Structure 1
């Protein structure tokens, strides 16, 4: 190890200790500081680790958490980046913070931003890539879905020996010829019949055949552009699946019960999209030698995580904090809310900073019109772009008399106790969610950090 690398590690570890023991936070600065001294410090930090990279548009954080909990059943301590700080500096911080076990396999399960896969792969040489999905997201940063996938493929090409564990229901993931071993997972439900011929709604993106640009059809469509796809023009179709969800047994906003193979699985979180995340984690766990029973146990123990359906109890309210960042993810959250049996209050926080995507037009592509408004007894609208969100909800048919604007996070928190329902759902973009959690931590409602 060179003097430069040693200095970078020392500076990064020292700053991490100070930030977390004195200031109670900091997920990217230690990595940024270490990289300023040695841009390739990650190579040294990760040299003894077997690394799994999780990437894609939606579901990275939850999939990473589920994989990590499952692999702990067999391998003990796992290095990961639970805060969702998924760019290179955040990943370096995760390594700086980790104290590896002395014996046994050293495993790292890392959520990686799509545009950072190439830079991270150069230094980590991963064993596996887990690909969740590709949807339109932050157009100012990623462009169309094909551009996003190109960024991921650039990284994968640097690790031809790594296994690809990909969502087979996403047509884009089997479209590029790569030398890597490929394992696909997806839904194979009882009503998925070979003679079904379905098409997606007209505003669905990513339904052009990657081979001939004809409109894709589906034997079964799960949501958005995901399902048992086929092209009636050139014959391109869903690849053979190694791991499948065979039945959705029950869904509520706070729980999912579903069947994979011959076994039932339960996780304490809602949304069909989270079944895909669980299936991705199951696929990885099985490839790493875990039994169905070990996976089921880990799923049952899984805790709510930072900002992703994070459950907060305050003033006798059950508050569900949910990150939303693009129309497909938001649509699925709205569908999940329609499974709620009780009345609830809705809080929407919209920002448009770089980490959120500066273009807020995506809120018009989500189906607020389809949300069951009869159970919503109060709506608070906040964030830096509250005017945009308020107007969007009015157009969607929300009663303006039920809507109140909150100017800042102090007002959001002060308003919670007077809401007319026990259940509260907060739908928030990324930077608005971070700011709200910071204010909640300062008021001792939640713990600081992750």
Structure 2
């Protein structure tokens, strides 16, 4: 370690201690300070670690958490960035914050923003990349899905020996010829689907063949553009899968049961998209030497994490706080709500800051029309762009009389106590979620921090 990186490490650790012990927060500033002193500090901090980079549009935080819980079963202490602060400064902070324990195998599992893969890879030299999916997301930041994938590929090219563990149901992930060893995972819910031949719905993004631009067809489609795809024009098709989900046994908004191979697995969270996240984590765990039994035990213990179907008890209310940030993710959350058996109240919070994406037109691409509105007894609308969200819900069929607009977080929290149902689902963009959690922490409803 150079003198400069040593100073950077001491300064970063001191700022982290002060922020978390005095100010009760701060996930990126310590890393930013350390990088200011030594831009290469991550290189020395990560020395000796086998690093797994988890990236993609949706599912990074949950996949990372499930991988960490699984690998802990075999290897004990795992370094990670649990807050979801996934740009370079947040990753440096994760290393600064980690309390190192004696382990035989030093492993870091890091969620990394798609646009940061290249700069992080330069410094970390990862041993594996986990690719979840790529959907349209914050067009003002990332552009089209092909631009996003190019950013990821440019990072992977810097680590040609690192293993790629990718979602084989996403056609884009097998479209670029890379020298890396590759493992693909996906859904295979039946063995007799080869004769099926159909297209995705007309408004589905990412269904052009990445080889010839013809429209892809499917033997089986799970959601959005994910499934057993093939191109009738050039013959491009889904790669051979190493790890598969073979059956979905049961789904509720708060639980999933499914089979991978002959073994049944359960996680305490809802949504088909989270089965993909579990499958990604399972694939990594198996590649790192875990047994099916060890993975199943880790999944059974999985905890709710910051903003990702985070359960909050408030008086007699059971609040489920869910981050939404793009049409595909929001669509899947809305489908998940339709598996709710009880009546519930819906709270929607929309912001348009840089971290959310300043273009809010994506809310019009999600299927609010498909919600089972009979079960929704009251709607609260908040956030900086409450008027956009309120209008979107009104157009989708919600009666204005059933909706209450309340952009102030303190007032909104008070209104939640008056809702007519025990169950409350809050769908929120990122910065609106941060603001709401801060207001809840000040009222001692939740603990401060993440």
> Which of the five TM-score ranges fits, normalised by the shorter chain?
over 0.9
The answer to whether the aligner puts 1:109 opposite 2:97 as a matched pair is no
* Distance in structure 2 (CA, Å) of the matches to 1:255 and 1:60: 19
* Distance in structure 1 (CA, Å) of the matches to 2:383 and 2:215: 38
Q: Deviations over 1:133-152 (max 9, x none)?
A: 00000000000000000000
Secondary structure in structure 1 of the residue aligned to 2:342? coil
Q: Deviations over 1:25-66 (max 9, x none)?
A: 110000000001101100000011110000000000000000
Q: Is the 8 A contact 2:163 2:180 kept in 1?
A: yes
1:185-224 equivalences under 5 Å are: 185-190=185-190, 193-224=193-224
1:304-343 equivalences under 5 Å are: 304-343=304-343
Q: CA deviation at 1:276?
A: 0.1
Q: CA deviation at 1:104?
A: 1.1
1:222-371 equivalences under 5 Å are: 222-371=222-371
* Distance in structure 1 (CA, Å) of the matches to 2:94 and 2:69: 16
* Distance in structure 2 (CA, Å) of the matches to 1:440 and 1:161: 46
Q: Deviations over 1:59-103 (max 9, x none)?
A: 000000000000000000100000000000000000000122223
Match of 1:34 in 2: 34
Secondary structure in structure 2 of the residue aligned to 1:390? helix
* Distance in structure 2 (CA, Å) of the matches to 1:430 and 1:266: 27
Secondary structure in structure 2 of the residue aligned to 1:134? coil
Secondary structure in structure 2 of the residue aligned to 1:257? strand
Match of 1:134 in 2: 134
Gap change, CA 1:50 and 1:153, over 3 Å in 2: same
Match of 2:47 in 1: 47
Q: CA deviation at 1:198?
A: 1.4
Structure-1-length-normalised TM-score:
0.99
* Distance in structure 2 (CA, Å) of the matches to 1:304 and 1:401: 34
* Distance in structure 2 (CA, Å) of the matches to 1:362 and 1:386: 14
* Distance in structure 2 (CA, Å) of the matches to 1:129 and 1:107: 13
Match of 1:20 in 2: 20
Aligned length: 450
Match of 2:372 in 1: 372
Q: Deviations over 1:407-443 (max 9, x none)?
A: 2110111111100000000000000001111111111
* Distance in structure 1 (CA, Å) of the matches to 2:339 and 2:373: 12
Match of 2:414 in 1: 414
Match of 2:68 in 1: 68
Q: Is the 8 A contact 2:51 2:127 kept in 1?
A: yes
Match of 1:99 in 2: 99
Q: Is the 8 A contact 1:100 1:106 kept in 2?
A: no
* Distance in structure 2 (CA, Å) of the matches to 1:355 and 1:315: 31
Specify every segment of 5 or more residues in structure 1 that has no aligned partner in the other structure, as ranges.
none
Q: Tell me the C-alpha RMSD between the 2 structures.
A: 0.6
Q: CA deviation at 1:311?
A: 0.2
Q: Is the 8 A contact 2:319 2:426 kept in 1?
A: yes
Q: Is the 8 A contact 2:75 2:103 kept in 1?
A: no
Q: Is the 8 A contact 1:185 1:242 kept in 2?
A: yes
Match of 1:150 in 2: 150
* Distance in structure 2 (CA, Å) of the matches to 1:118 and 1:273: 26
Q: CA deviation at 1:192?
A: 5.8
Secondary structure in structure 2 of the residue aligned to 1:379? strand
Q: CA deviation at 1:4?
A: 1.1
Q: Deviations over 1:106-137 (max 9, x none)?
A: 10000000000000000000000000000000
* Distance in structure 2 (CA, Å) of the matches to 1:220 and 1:54: 26
* Distance in structure 2 (CA, Å) of the matches to 1:388 and 1:111: 31
Q: Is the 8 A contact 2:77 2:103 kept in 1?
A: no
Specify every segment of 5 or more residues in structure 2 that has no aligned partner in the other structure, as ranges.
none
Match of 1:435 in 2: 435
* Distance in structure 2 (CA, Å) of the matches to 1:19 and 1:347: 31
* Distance in structure 2 (CA, Å) of the matches to 1:412 and 1:113: 31
Q: CA deviation at 1:191?
A: 6.8
Q: Is the 8 A contact 1:198 1:221 kept in 2?
A: no
Q: CA deviation at 1:269?
A: 0.2
Match of 1:184 in 2: 184
* Distance in structure 2 (CA, Å) of the matches to 1:167 and 1:226: 9
* Distance in structure 2 (CA, Å) of the matches to 1:192 and 1:31: 52
* Distance in structure 2 (CA, Å) of the matches to 1:52 and 1:406: 42
Q: Is the 8 A contact 1:315 1:416 kept in 2?
A: no
Q: Deviations over 1:349-382 (max 9, x none)?
A: 0000000000000000000000110000000000
Secondary structure in structure 1 of the residue aligned to 2:246? strand
